[in-house]
Amino acid sequence: MKQRIEQATIALETARLSLDKQFYPEYHLATYAGWLNDPNGLIYHNGLYHAFYQHHPYSADWGPMHWGHATSKDMVHWQHQPIALAPGEQYDRDGCFSGSAVSHDGKLYLFYTGHIWLSDVGDDSQIYQAQCLAVSDDGIHFEKKGVVLPSPEGYMHFRDPKVWYQDSRWWMVVGARDSSDLGQVLLFHSYDLFNWSEDYQILAKTDDKNVYMWECPDFFPLGEQFVTLFSPQGKKPQNHQYRNRFQNGYLVGNWSPNQCYEVTNQFSEIDYGHDFYAPQTFLSKDGRRIAIAWMDMWESHMPSKPHGWSGCLTLPRELTLSDQGKVYVNPIKELATLRQSAIEIEPCIFEKNTQIMLLEDATACEVELIWDLENSPAEKFGFWVGNGAQFFIDGQSQQLVLARHYPEHTISDYRSAALPQTRQLKIHAFIDKSSLEVFINEGEICFTSRIYPQKNQRALTLFAINQSAKLLKATLWRLNKAVE
Ligand code: FRU
């Protein structure tokens, strides 16, 4: 594997020299060059946070999957590390697919899916997938240990292991598609990380007959309950819901090792934007449950591809559970270390058809706005980023809307969610070179989307259209760079 990693590193170093950085993030983790998809192996281990990711170092398109790697002291500032895994053994010949990490006895263990095309490359109907292990002493260089869990009979799509320790055992959930083409999560256990039970439980399964696969499952305690987070494939759009190519969301329920998973809250989407997929969670050093996702979507148009790279990760978000069993999602508090000095905007009433530009070049910034919903009869109010992206309250439909319009990239679409029936609405937004992440009312709703402003088209402007809107508070920060 060493040779294959060296070869990929040379390819990356060369590609980096000609990268066009127009859309390259300033404070989100992206690859040096080439392609990135799911976050993998997120973990706090021996004093550092590790983020691995699905990576194709040889082009900006998906290809034989490697694991890229970066480390951080604070989950905010990231440093690139050498590629951790390269495919090529008989059992992972065509890719080291997604997986997770555990820290044990000072070593870092990576569990991933070895992927093999049995017929043509790309023919998903004939594949073999098995769970594999690689171990490292220094957290940087990994030694592959081979397959630790072959696919059970009747399962061809069997991938994305997430491993954790609980009640004297190691547990693994794996995403699967059963012989009737229905998505589910299988649960296995082990006492030593190497030998895994052949018998398994179906922890949870789809109740939607269109859903043929659950990718990237995660299973973790939150509050007093257990959350199953996963990425279902096949869900059909329903009005404003499930509009992306694939979805992401969660179930909430009760579980203990000797008990079946009892679901108390059925499937809910966790993000309402265009680009949030395959999230994985981990514990921060002080025990908070943090999630990071791939900030893109399969089959969507990615205008950075001709620039030599594609794909980046979302900001880390802290997850909490409300008494009603709803997962709240908030940006981690450590992100405040990126802030330059705060700019306060005077509370004011936006008279009908007015706009105020807050920042001419909103390249890397954060803004917090509080609107008085009871005293804002405007038909539409919120903010624009240049002339291509807008986030607004739609008074007519009582929806929150994130809309994009980049005809030069044939991108023009919107995503929406029901407007919370609160008196005030807090909008907390992060803008980077090609992304917009919006958190509403302390994490009740969030939207994550890629945006592609043209050069000199990045003004951040507040507006109110057809009648007035009342702004109670607004604070703006420019943000420092966090990744090279
Ligand atoms: C999710 C996914 C995983 C798979 C990986 C391959 O985005 O399809 O199921 O392991 O990507 O890159």
Residue ending a domain, choose from 332, 358, 392: 332
Regions of the chain with pLDDT less than 50: none
Q: Which residue has the tokens 């976050």?
A: 39
Assess whether 129 and 265 both reside in one domain. Answer: yes
**Which atom of ligand 1 is found nearest the CA of 99?**
10
Rounded CA-CA distance 1/24 in Å is: 29
Ligand 1 pocket, residue 92 CB under 6 Å: no
Domain that holds residue 350: 339-478
CA atoms within 13 A on the CB side of 206: 26
- 129 CA from centroid of ligand 1 (Å): 12
Query: Quick check: is 199 catalytic?
Result: no
Q: Mark whether 326 and 349 lie in a shared domain.
A: no
CA dist., res. 289 & res. 293, Å (int): 14
In this predicted structure, what is the pLDDT of residue 258?
84
- Distance from the CA of 322 to the center of ligand 1, in angstroms? 30
3-class SS of residue 8:
helix
Any atom of ligand 1 within 6 Å of the Cβ of 225: no
Assess whether the C-beta atom of 385 lies below 6 angstroms from ligand 1: no
With CA atoms as reference, report the closest residue to 162 among 227, 258, 211: 227
Query: Is 65 near ligand 1, meaning CB less than 6 Å away?
Result: yes
Burial 332-344 (b: 16+ CB within 10 A, else e): bebbeebeeeeee
- pLDDT tens sequence across 110-162: 999 999 999 999 999 999 999 999 999 999 999 999 999 999 999 999 999 99
Residues in the chain, overall count:
484
CB 373 within 8 A of CB 390: no
Among the atoms of ligand 1, which is closest to the Cα of residue 115? 10
Nearest CA among 410, 396, 361, 382 for reference residue 469: 382
CATH number of the domain at 263, please: 2.115.10.20
- Complex ipTM > 0.95: yes
Q: Is residue 484 part of a domain?
A: no
Q: Which two tokens stand for residue 308?
A: 């030599």
Given a contact cutoff of 8 angstroms between Cβ atoms, the answer to whether 57 and 5 are in contact is no
Identify whether residues 123 and 265 lie together within a single domain. yes
The number of helices, as runs of H, and strands, as runs of E, in the chain is: 1, 34
Instruction: Give the tens place of pLDDT for each residue, 165-208.
Output: 999 999 999 999 999 999 999 999 999 999 999 899 999 999 99
Vertex 440: Cα angle to 438 and 441 (nearest 5): 150
CB 57 within 8 A of CB 63: no
CA 160 from centroid of its chain's CA atoms: 15
Q: Is there a single domain that holds both residue 414 and residue 458?
A: yes
| Strand bridging mode 66-72 / 78-85 | antiparallel
Q: Which mutation among 121, 156, 159, 245 tests ligand 1's pocket best, with the greatest number of atoms within 8 A of CB?
A: 159
Would residue 483 count as lying in a domain? no
Atom of ligand 1 nearest to the CA of 97: 10
Instruction: Please tell me whether residues 29 and 161 are part of one structural domain.
Output: yes
Whole-number Å distance, alpha carbon 316 to ligand 1 midpoint, is 20
Cβ atoms within 10 Å, residue 21: 12
Ligand 1 pocket, residue 233 CB under 6 Å: no
Last residue of a domain, one of 271, 301, 332: 332
Residue 97 CB–ligand 1 contact under 6 Å: yes
End residue of a domain, out of 315, 332, 349: 332
Considering its fold, how many domains does the chain have in total?
2
476, 345 contact by CB (below 8 A)? yes
- On whether both 312 and 360 belong to a single domain, the answer is no
Per 3-state DSSP, what percentage of the chain is helix, strand, and coil (rounded to 5)?
A: 5, 55, 40
**Are 255 and 136 in a shared domain?**
yes
**CA 215 / ligand 1 centre spacing (Å):** 7
